[in-house]
Amino acid sequence: MSFSSLLYSQKAIVIGDSQSSYIAMNSKAELYKPLFKVGIGLVKLNSLVLREPINYKVEFVFISIGVNDSYQYQELNFTETLKSTFPNAKFYMVPGSHGWGNVKKFNENYYSKFKVSVLKNRIGPGDPHRNKESYRVIGREINKILDNE
């Protein structure tokens, strides 16, 4: 791990589904294992965040969620849960994948319902369970956010 990675790992984390590991692998943000789970959906992630102690050190949270719920939004006050657990953080949704398994289409409106920032780049079509180019593009976008703060 480089010095710059150590610097950012204390303040920037990636949470959510299996795609989170590839996002972290390609960015300066660290995979936060207590809030990472393969196959996780919004309900389970919300329950895990509720159990986390308040963390004042984290400044950025990048969230990969949606594909395991087929982009069907569920009102859980997830954003409020995040803000309570990480009160000093800015939150960014990472638009997910589609066109594989049961997820044929991407729901353009899904992420806007969380009322947090959404990254411009998405994981995109095809099986997301390999380190594909879109993760490198997303990583560069995340690093640009971190470098400008």
CB 80 within 8 A of CB 87: no
Cα dihedral: 121, 149, 46, 16 (round 10): 50
pTM: 0.90
How does pLDDT run along the chain (149 residues), one tens digit per residue? 333 444 444 699 999 999 999 999 999 999 999 999 999 989 999 999 999 999 999 999 999 988 777 777 777 899 999 999 999 999 999 998 887 777 777 777 888 888 999 999 998 887 888 899 999 999 999 999 999 87
User: What type of residue is 100?
Assistant: W
Question: In the block, which residue shows the tokens 């990048």?
Answer: 62
Question: How, if at all, do strands 124-125 and 97-98 pair?
Answer: parallel
Q: What is the SS3 assignment for 20?
A: helix
CA nearest to 113, candidates 95, 98, 125: 95
CA nearest to 66, candidates 38, 95, 37, 46: 95
Q: What is the pLDDT of residue 8?
A: 43
Q: What is the pLDDT of residue 2?
A: 39
Phi, psi of 31 (to 5 degrees): -65, 125
Q: What is the pLDDT of residue 10?
A: 67
